[in-house]
Amino acid sequence: MTSTARAAYGAALLLLPQRLLRLGARPPLPDAALTVARVLGARHLMQAVVTAAAPTTRVVTAGAGVDALHASSQMGLAALSSRWRTVALADAAAAAVLIAAAGGTLRGRR
């Protein structure tokens, strides 16, 4: 389930970055922001594929680590930029949900 949700989120970021960013950022949206959203979407899609193909403890843990780094970077962005604060906090929250889901997956293996 986590891979499916991650893939859906990644596809939305990749295919509809303007719609998602407009939910929390003031227009106009710079091209660089759309590019960053698409790159993040591609990363989520790749991570979903890898995790679904090899849902080992190592892969799930590494994915959670990547999500933790991303959440940290988004918290930094939220602290530094009022323009991007809402988007950054929403993305950090999404990363936190994915980290929690990974934790649940790992706990279920014990």
pLDDT bucket at 1, cuts 50 / 70 / 90: low
Q: Is the dihedral of CA 32, 90, 60, 46 positive or negative?
A: negative
DSSP conformation class of 27: S
Of 105, 99, 36, nearest to 68 by C-alpha is 99
Residue 15 CA, chain-centre distance (Å), reads 14
Q: Are 9 and 44 within 8 A, CB to CB?
A: yes
Q: Are 84 and 30 within 8 A, CB to CB?
A: no
Question: Which letter, b or e, does each residue of 6-35 get, where b requires 16 or more Cβ atoms within 10 Å of its Cβ?
Answer: bbebbeebbeebeebbeeebeeeeeeebee
pTM of the model: 0.90
| pLDDT single digits (tens) 16-62 | 999 999 988 888 999 999 999 999 999 999 999 999 999 999 999 99
Please give the tally of structural domains in the chain. Answer: 1
Identify the domain containing residue 17 by its residue range. 2-107
